């Protein structure tokens, strides 16, 4: 393993102790929409990561796309998150909240008013979600009006402010994996012909407005953005990723002082060199799936400032120790990824007891 992985690196106003970050992972254990003591323990166990990026946190009620995911849009949620950030900070860690509006990846059963999920255009994902007993298809979303788009931008900024009030060190905006920001970037899910659609530059507008609003609210050096140019997750389609992400990154040139840009290579790494070329600021690469860490050295060798790993951290709270020692890694238990209790969550063994 590349020794530079364990060297400090700068992310915005902070110095991360190493370049081995923990990627965001939905775990569906925020019962009642708020994290509890078990969630705090889970993140605190992994505080040796250079940076923890949390599971996706919805910025408003309509931003929820899965059962038992947490929010940052109410005072009770802010108070609940304080226990999580405090536990991570007590162990010397850094933690960013990932703010995720799922857009069309939702369902009326998730919302108190029973309304439809929203999106840039009335185009269904073609995918399904778990409702607690089985899988149900995503409905056709309701198209956001221009005025509602501004309200969503404001909700992102408000949630970022709530994150800082809850003790987070910063936020990552989820612009990947087929969620709302990504839906605006896609010419399959965004069929608008107004200022938010029609060509690559206008499809980038929503993402840039969200980044700007959040950076203005909490500081660019506490704001990050995640993208996934090659990923077709959640039914997303991009006919020309090079054109679209060139437009997006050129539109973000004035924000090269962001804490970082995070690019996920799920679906392929072919667009990472373009991202590195166009992005002048700090770049985090999510190079691996499962326990396949073969892409870590490649990412660092090609200019990544840090790497973010998911399943490896999920199953190995002492991942840094294991990698330094060349020790075997715990295998993640996929059956316990979503929902449940401490099993497959806080009970993975450390090296000395493995």
In angstroms, what CA-CA distances link 259 with 114, 306, 309, 346? 37, 12, 18, 29
Residues in the chain: 354
Query: Strand 14-16 and strand 9-11: pairing?
Result: antiparallel
Q: Angle at CA 176, nearest 5°, toward 111 and 143?
A: 45
Q: Are 99 and 59 in contact (CB under 8 A)?
A: yes
Distance CA 212, CA 51 (A): 23
Helices (H), the chain: 37-45, 75-90, 146-165, 180-185, 200-203, 205-218, 241-251, 272-278, 294-301, 311-315, 319-325
Could you give the CA distance from residue 206 to residue 34 in angstroms, rounded to a whole number?
28
CA dist., res. 343 & res. 242, Å (int): 42
Q: Of the listed 14, 179, 196, 245, which one is catalytic?
A: 179
Tracing tokens 């923990």 back to the chain, one arrives at 22
- Tell me, what DSSP letter sits at residue 221? G
Q: Are 290 and 332 in contact (CB under 8 A)?
A: yes
CB contact set of 275 (below 8 Å; sequence gap of 6+): 227, 229, 245, 249, 261, 263, 283
User: Whole-angstrom Cα distance, residue 126 to residue 112?
Assistant: 24
Q: Give the integer Cα–Cα distance in Å for 264 and 82.
A: 28
Is 179 marked active-site?
Answer: yes
Catalytic (active-site) positions: 179
């Amino acid at each position: 393993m590349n020794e530079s992985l364990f060297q400090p690196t700068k992310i915005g106003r902070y110095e991360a102790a190493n370049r081995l970050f923990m990627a965001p992972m939905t775990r569906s254990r925020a019962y009642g929409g708020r994290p509890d003591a078990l969630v705090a323990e889970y993140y605190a166990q992994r505080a040796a990561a250079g940076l923890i990026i949390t599971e996706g946190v919805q910025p408003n009620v309509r931003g929820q796309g899965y059962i038992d995911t947490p929010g940052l849009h109410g005072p009770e949620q802010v108070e609940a998150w304080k226990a999580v950030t405090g536990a991570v900070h007590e162990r010397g860690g850094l933690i960013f909240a990932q703010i995720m509006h799922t857009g069309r990846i939702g369902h009326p059963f998730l919302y108190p008013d029973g309304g439809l999920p929203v999106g840039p255009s009335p185009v269904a994902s073609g995918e399904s979600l778990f409702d607690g007993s089985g899988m149900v298809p995503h409905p056709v979303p309701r198209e956001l009006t221009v005025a509602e788009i501004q309200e969503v931008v404001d909700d992102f900024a408000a949630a970022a402010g709530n994150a800082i009030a809850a003790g987070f060190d910063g936020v990552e905006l989820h612009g990947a994996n087929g969620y709302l920001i990504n839906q605006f970037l896609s010419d399959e899910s965004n069929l608008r012909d107004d200022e938010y659609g029609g060509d690559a530059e206008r499809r980038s507008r929503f993402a840039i407005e969200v980044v700007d609003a959040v950076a203005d609210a909490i500081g660019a050096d506490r704001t990050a953005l995640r993208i996934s140019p090659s990923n077709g997750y959640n039914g997303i389609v991009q006919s020309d990723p090079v054109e679209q992400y060139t437009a997006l990154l050129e539109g973000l040139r004035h924000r090269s002082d962001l804490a970082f840009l995070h690019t996920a290579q799920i679906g392929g790494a072919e667009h990472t060199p373009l991202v590195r070329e166009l992005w002048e600021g700090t770049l985090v690469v999510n190079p691996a799936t499962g326990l396949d860490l073969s892409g870590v050295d490649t990412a660092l060798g090609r200019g990544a400032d840090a790497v973010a790993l998911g399943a490896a951290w999920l199953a190995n709270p002492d991942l840094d120790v294991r990698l330094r020692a060349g020790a075997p890694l715990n295998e993640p238990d996929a059956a316990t990824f979503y929902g449940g209790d401490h099993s497959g969550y806080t009970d993975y063994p450390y090296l000395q007891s493995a």
